[in-house]
Amino acid sequence: MRLRSGLAAACALAAFLAAGCSRNPGIVFQGYIEGEYVYIAPPVGGTLTNLAVARGSHVKTGQLLFILDRSPQAAELRAAEKNLAQARANLALAQAEYVRRVNLRAVQRVISAEELDRARADRDAAAARAGSMQANLDKARWSWEQKAQYAPANAFVQDTLYRPGEWVPAGSPVVVLLPPANIKVRFFVPEPWLARLHAGEVVAVTFDGMPHPCSATIHYISSEAEFTPPVLYNRQNRANLIYMMEGSFSAADAPQLRPGQPVDVAVNSP
């Protein structure tokens, strides 16, 4: 989710002010909830015939999301199956004829080596034709299957971008999902705290109206400051450097949170 730069700057400033007020255990930084969305798009284009989910609903792994018109692919699939069946029948005949000529050549010596070579070439050509028809069938079946898309994980349906009857270009997202594992907290700490917080540490996240804190585990610490002072570094302006950190939630806590939601992040002072 892309948030306006003003929100990040405001959170960063609030974090700096909060950090400058206290060095007591349980110091609170300001932050917000971030979401990494999953955009489900078909690799082939078509008319949307069935939108099986609604915005704001929840889906389970493997649940149908949408189907595009399969009529062209269905026709291609039937034709490919028919062509493969014919190619396999021709291969069987060519193989039988080759075996017969091998026996005639080996036992009765009634055919020439050239005739045997022609029979072998016919058999190989029929085998190549059958292989080509199998590839065409696999391609047609893949195209038919791709017209239906399913949820890759349990998720919240953040948005649907097309309506039934509309044309969906290949690669264009139709459904936007937000799996609980993709919800994280983003908060900002001043430079002196970089040495005190490490990946793997647990912080407490709260927001207005929340009955109890959610635990989040820090998994990312930015290596660059959100903004730098306009003068050379010294002991005083180093404290003005703000660094972004991110933490992930448990599967139980994540569904309670929404991207863009402002939160307080409490950390323990060492």
User: 264 has which bridge partners?
Assistant: 30, 206
At 223 the pLDDT is: 81
Question: How far is 62 from 269, CA to CA, in rounded Å?
Answer: 44
CATH numbers and ranges of domains, the chain: 5-36+179-267 (2.40.30.170), 71-146 (1.10.287)
Residue 219 has pLDDT above 60, yes or no: yes
Range scoring the smallest mean pLDDT among 53-67, 91-105, 178-192, 225-239: 225-239
Q: Would you give the end-to-end CA distance of the chain in angstroms?
A: 33
At 227 the pLDDT is: 59
Residue 1 has pLDDT above 60, yes or no: no
Order the strands of the 148-150 sheet from edge to edge: 148-150, 64-68, 46-51, 167-168
The rounded mean pLDDT for the chain is 83
Which helix (H) or strand (E) is 46 found in, with range?
strand 46-51
Question: How far is 88 from 131, CA to CA, in rounded Å?
Answer: 9
Q: pLDDT tens digit string along 29-54?
A: 888 999 999 999 999 999 999 999 99
At 36 the pLDDT is: 94
Angle between helices 71-103 and 113-146 (to 10 degrees): 160
At 270 the pLDDT is: 58
At 99, the amino acid letter reads V
Residue 88 has pLDDT above 60, yes or no: yes
Buried b (16+ CB within 10 A) or exposed e, 224-263: ebbeeeeeeeeeeeeeebbbbbbbbbeeebbebbebebeb
At 65 the pLDDT is: 98
Range scoring the smallest mean pLDDT among 27-31, 105-109, 210-214: 105-109
Residue 3 has pLDDT above 80, yes or no: no
At 226 the pLDDT is: 66
